[in-house]
Amino acid sequence: MVTKSFKRICPRCKSKEIYLDQSNPLQPAYGLPQEYICKKCDYRGYLVPEIESSKLTKLEKMQSRKLIKNIKSEKVDYRYGSFEVKILWKIFGPLFILGGILTLFKSFFGGLILILFGALLTFLSFRSTSK
């Protein structure tokens, strides 16, 4: 059985210099998606394509001939938590926490789930995702 090796590339500049953002050590523990950062163009995103190593050499040859530079691609921000969403999270996060505290007296586990969900929303709304 032959195993194929894959390499991550930046969707914006096609660079191989992609690294995993380690600024929040609790991010994988909470099951949140990992953010990747490109060293060359400062792209930040959660979706990074992977290419087989054999096809990567073809991509580098095309880049050296500047064939890829002529192709216009739409730049899409794949990060979750845009401005409007974060505003909603900042409103609903504390409301879920308050609702969870009030629900604790009737149903302990239901209230606890609401408090944890509200804390997660509040955490994500104040987390900095800018450059």
Sign of the dihedral through C-alpha 99, 102, 103, 109: positive
| pTM passes above 0.75 | no
Helix (H/G/I), strand (E/B), else coil: 14: coil
Indicate if the pLDDT at residue 53 is higher than 80: no
Write the pLDDT tens digit of every residue in 84-112: 677 788 888 999 999 999 999 899 999 99
Write the pLDDT tens digit of every residue in 26-38: 777 777 778 888 8
Give mean pLDDT, residues 59-87: 60
Given this model, what pLDDT does residue 63 score?
A: 62
Amino acid (one-letter) located at 81: G
Whole-angstrom distance, CA of residue 34 vs CA of residue 27: 7
Lowest mean pLDDT among 34-43, 71-80, 89-98: 71-80
Q: CA distances (Å), 10 to each of 81, 94, 124, in order? A: 21, 36, 25
Contact 96, 117 (CB under 8 A): yes
